[in-house]
Structure formats: C-alpha cells, structure tokens
Amino acid sequence: MTGLLLALAALCIWIYQDAQRRQLLRPWAWTLLVAFLGPIGIAIYWAKRPLYPAEYRVGGYAWVMTRSFVIATTAWIGMFGALVLIWLSTIVPMPLIIALILSLGVLLAAAWSLVAFLLLLTVWLLRDGNHVEQGPTHPLLAGQPLPVWGDRVLKVIFFGGLLMVFMFTEPATPHWMEQVEWQTVPGRIAI
C-alpha cells in the first residue's frame, strides 16, 4: 500500500508543478481533484490543461478525456494488481498464484480490454477529427518554450510507482504459515 500512496504522491506533485508551469489558477485545486478522483481527475486535467506553443490536441474534449481515462485506469489497475499479487504471495503458495493469474487475471484483463475498447470506439466514432486545439491556449504561454522534461515524467512516475509497489510493500508472513507444509495443502483442499 505504501508504494501506491508514494506513486499517488509523486503524481500529485507532478500535477501541481505542471499546473503551475502552465499558469493555471489554483494548481492545488487540480492536485486535489486528481488525488480524490484518481483516473477521472487525470482525464479532466489532461483534457483541460493549457497547451504550450508546440503542443496540440485532436478530436475534441470527449475523445481526449476518454482516452486519458482509459490510459490512467489501466495504469491504476496494473499497480493495484501488482499490490494484490504481493499480498497474495504471503498467504497462498506460488502455484496457486500462477493459476489465479492465468485464470482470473486473464479474465479480468480481457473484461477491462473489452470495456476500454468499447469506450474508445464509441468516443472515436463521435469524435470531431477537424477539431484541433493548437497551443498556446493560454495567453501567458505564448512564446514560452516547451518544458525540457515534458510529459515523459508521467511514464517515470508510473514505472517508479510500480517499482515502489514491489519495493515498499513488505509482505509479513503470518505465524500460521510457517507451520504449514505446502506440499500437503492440495491433499487437504480440493482444488
């Protein structure tokens, strides 16, 4: 859980700094929106944030927001799934975890892929391909160069968050697990 909280904190810091760089009023409000609404807050921010002169958005508000929501939710699911697997590894033997990943994990991934595909397809069919927002979309950003780090920092935050989930989630083995011989479990539990 610590890893997820650290990833959320890093994301909120990035949102605050990005909102401040883009001359938005009340960058704390955007940070709180992302902190409380998660992927929905990220999608709203991504669709509304002002653009630098070299940036552009195509497809309209609904397309940008839905695409950002699907990407953010997929990242959230990946980090939460990693956390669940670490937690399960403390109470379930590895062959059972692999079986869960191959059955339930594949089923849930397929279900999310179907939902994401249908969402994106619906909004893509309704998107306005002629609607192009080209920066600068805020008067104070005119003539400003694109930040050096840009939005690549988000990828670093995601992969860093995934790494933090594995590093800072310290699974504690229950006392009763030390006394169980896992070779005898399948004989006692009908699988």
pLDDT at 186: 56
> 39-48 vs 61-88: helix axis angle to the nearest 10?
150
The residues pairing with 132 across neighbouring beta strands, listed in sequence order, are 58
Q: Report how far residue 167's alpha carbon sits from residue 149's, in angstroms, rounded to the nearest whole number.
A: 25
> Is the sign of the CA dihedral 84, 87, 89, 95 positive or negative?
negative
In one-letter notation, the amino acid at residue 154 is L
Q: Report how far residue 69's alpha carbon sits from residue 115's, in angstroms, rounded to the nearest whole number.
A: 12
Q: What is the mean pLDDT of residues 48-68?
A: 88
- Between 91 and 44, the more confident residue is 44
Q: What is the pLDDT of residues 72-106, one digit of tens each?
A: 899 888 878 877 777 777 787 878 888 888 888 88
pLDDT score of 185 more than 60: no
pLDDT score of 16 more than 80: yes
Confidence of residue 176 (pLDDT cuts 50, 70, 90): very low
H or E segment to which residue 129 belongs: strand 128-134
Count other Cβ atoms within 10 Å, centred on residue 74: 15
Q: Is residue 136 reached through a cis peptide bond, with omega within 30 degrees of 0 on the bond before it?
A: yes
Q: What is the pLDDT of residues 107-160, one digit of tens each?
A: 998 999 999 999 999 998 988 888 888 878 888 888 877 776 666 666 777 677
Q: What is the mean pLDDT of residues 25-43?
A: 91
Domain residue spans of the chain: 2-171
Q: What is the pLDDT of residues 21-31, one digit of tens each?
A: 888 889 999 99
